[in-house]
């Protein structure tokens, strides 16, 4: 017994357990992304011999024992729960909530009860067909497929699934968000229904547009985030999906202090001054925090009343702010990136447009690039060479 205890301490993957009054041994280890679990070894030596044999087969790429762990008979939805508890929990809380709702609504009714090891191209084709019959575009189906792929990739890594099944061909059409000009934004603001809470929704739209906020960031604002004397606001949290005022870190998990315009400071003063710094900034008629659906509905009604034909969502206000800052101001991409909490590469690829008129005006001027390049100096027969670090002019 002492020998076994010593050897167990040396190999933690071999453990003992009691069953029927007798001592048995089990293997539990992970190697090269393959999880192995086996029970029922009568002695430590037998378990150790099997442990070494399996490790050798895994390293040689010959291990195909699908009875090695308990997930081999799991359904896709059961496997999804394992994925959410291990790999999927590294995402932001809002992303976790959104993908869970998508899975429950769209994936689980069609594929949820199928065992993962039986998933094939036929099942994925059936899923795509059902979604298309519901009127969904390939753009939406592709987002569903991405979450399914995450689960299937984990199944392949754990050898529950032999091969990654191939999806039928999806043809997502790139869809660029609608962009509103400042004039169009003002038309939407002025079209907000003049009810008791109409002024608050006007302010909310103006704040989201001018600060380029995500919807969760807008709803998570509190009076304590504002410093009206300094003219700044701290963006460091977002409201999570659901009732109540539950907040979490922003999508990028960063916090940034943004400047406020004088007109915005004046408009926000009644919402900030003489209030508890930790209460929600926006309060409904029921004295509850304004929810996502209420704000979306108010914005939708204002858009319809304004007469615009563009498809406008709350995120369009953020995109319109980014488009304006990138193309209509003299701010650098890095400044806009800081203000929008967005990577410079995404800002350039999605919003930056070529100012062809500005290019023509610049290169037709005498200051294009440098004055020297526009002079006749390089048109002469003089050749400039370098020798020992000194510039020498030679005539040819």
Distance, in Å, from the CA atom of 240 to the CA atom of 223, rounded to the nearest integer, reads: 18
3-state secondary structure 326-352: HHCCCCCHHHHHHHHCCCHHHHHHHCC
Backbone angles phi, psi at 29, to 5 degrees: -160, 165
Write out the DSSP string of 18-77: EETTEEEEEEEEEETTEEEEEEEESSHHHHHHHHHHHHHHHHTT----TTSSGGGG-BHH
Query: Residue 189: which of 209, 213, 168, 215 has the closest Cα?
Result: 209
CA distance readout (Å), 114 to 78, 110, 124, 179: 10, 9, 11, 43
Helices and strands: H and E segment counts in the chain:
17, 10
Distance, in Å, from the CA atom of 117 to the CA atom of 152, rounded to the nearest integer, reads: 9
Residue 158 above 90 pLDDT? no
The arithmetic mean of pLDDT across residues 235-252, rounded, is: 87
The arithmetic mean of pLDDT across residues 235-264, rounded, is: 88
How far is the first Cα of the chain from the last one, in angstroms, to the nearest whole number?
A: 96
Residue 380 above 80 pLDDT? no
What domains are defined for the chain?
2-68 (no CATH), 73-157 (1.10.150.130), 182-350 (1.10.443.10), 363-396 (no CATH)
Q: Which long-range contacts (CB under 8 A, 24 or more apart) does 61-67 make?
A: 63/34, 63/159, 64/159, 64/162, 65/36, 65/159, 66/117, 66/159, 66/160
Backbone torsion region of residue 135, taken as left when φ is above 0, otherwise alpha when ψ lies between -120 and 50, otherwise beta: left
Q: What is the pTM assigned to this prediction?
A: 0.58
Query: Residue 201: which of 294, 323, 78 has the closest Cα?
Result: 294
Residue 386 above 90 pLDDT? no
The arithmetic mean of pLDDT across residues 70-82, rounded, is: 85
Q: How confident is the model over 328-374, as pLDDT tens digits? A: 888 899 999 999 988 888 788 777 776 666 667 766 665 555 555 55
Q: How confident is the model over 4-47, as pLDDT tens digits? A: 444 444 567 888 888 878 888 888 888 776 778 888 888 888 88
Q: How confident is the model over 300-326, as pLDDT tens digits? A: 999 999 988 888 889 999 999 999 998
Distance, in Å, from the CA atom of 113 to the CA atom of 78, rounded to the nearest integer, reads: 9
Distance, in Å, from the CA atom of 264 to the CA atom of 233, rounded to the nearest integer, reads: 11
The arithmetic mean of pLDDT across residues 247-251, rounded, is: 88
Residue 261 above 80 pLDDT? yes
pLDDT at 175: 65
CA distance readout (Å), 350 to 16, 208, 294, 326: 58, 19, 29, 10
pLDDT at 309: 87
pLDDT at 137: 86
pLDDT at 375: 52
Residues paired with residue 34 on neighbouring β-strands, in sequence order = 31
H-type alpha helices, 238-374: 262-272, 292-306, 314-327, 333-340, 344-350, 356-363, 371-374
Residue 64 pLDDT level (bands cut at 50, 70, 90): low
Residue 378 above 50 pLDDT? no
Contact 173, 131 (CB under 8 A): no
Write out the DSSP string of 99-145: HHHHIIIIIHHHHTTSBGGG--HHHHHHHHHHHHHTT--HHHHHHHH
Q: How confident is the model over 122-149, as pLDDT tens digits? A: 999 999 999 999 888 888 899 999 999 9
What are the tokens at 396?
């040819």
Residue 190 above 80 pLDDT? yes
Report the alpha-carbon angle 18-19-22, nearest 5.
70
Q: Containing H/E element for 390? A: strand 390-395
What are the tokens at 76?
């896709």
Neighbours of 134 (CB within 10 A): 10
């Amino acid at each position: 017994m002492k020998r076994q205890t010593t050897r167990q301490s040396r190999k933690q993957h071999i453990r003992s357990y009691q069953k029927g009054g007798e001592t048995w041994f089990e293997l539990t280890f992970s190697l090269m992304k393959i999880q192995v679990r086996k029970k029922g070894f009568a002695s430590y030596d037998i378990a150790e011999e099997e442990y070494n044999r399996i490790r050798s087969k895994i390293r040689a790429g010959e291990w195909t024992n699908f009875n090695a762990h308990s997930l081999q008979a799991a359904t896709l939805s059961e496997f999804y729960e394992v994925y959410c508890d291990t790999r999927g929990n590294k995402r932001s809380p809002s992303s976790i909530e959104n993908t869970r709702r998508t899975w429950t609504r769209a994936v689980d009714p069609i594929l949820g009860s199928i065992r993962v090891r039986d998933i094939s191209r036929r099942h994925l084709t059936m899923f795509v067909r059902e979604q298309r019959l519901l009127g969904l575009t390939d753009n939406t189906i592709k987002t569903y497929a991405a979450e399914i792929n995450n689960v299937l990739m984990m199944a392949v890594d754990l050898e529950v699934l032999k091969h990654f099944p191939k999806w039928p061909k999806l043809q997502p059409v790139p869809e660029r968000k609608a962009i509103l000009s400042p004039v169009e934004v003002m038309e939407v603001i002025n079209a907000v229904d003049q009810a008791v809470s109409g002024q608050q929704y006007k302010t909310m739209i103006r704040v989201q547009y001018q600060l380029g906020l995500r919807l969760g960031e807008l709803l998570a604002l509190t009076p304590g985030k504002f410093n009206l004397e300094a003219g700044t606001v701290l963006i460091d949290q977002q409201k999570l999906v659901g009732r109540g005022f539950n907040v979490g870190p922003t999508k990028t998990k960063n916090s940034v202090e943004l400047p406020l315009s004088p007109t915005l400071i004046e408009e926000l003063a009644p919402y900030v001054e003489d209030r508890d710094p930790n209460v929600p900034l926006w309060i409904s008629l029921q004295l509850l925090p304004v929810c996502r659906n209420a704000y979306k509905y108010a914005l939708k009604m204002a858009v319809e009343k304004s007469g615009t034909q563009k498809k406008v969502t709350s995120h369009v206000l953020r995109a319109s702010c980014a488009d304006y800052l990138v193309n209509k101001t003299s701010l650098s991409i890095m400044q806009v990136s800081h203000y929008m909490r967005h990577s410079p590469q995404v800002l350039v690829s999605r919003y930056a447009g070529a100012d062809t008129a500005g290019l023509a005006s610049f290169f037709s001027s005498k200051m294009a690039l440098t004055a020297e390049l526009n002079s006749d100096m390089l048109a002469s027969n003089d050749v400039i060479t370098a020798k020992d670090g000194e510039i020498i002019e030679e005539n040819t």
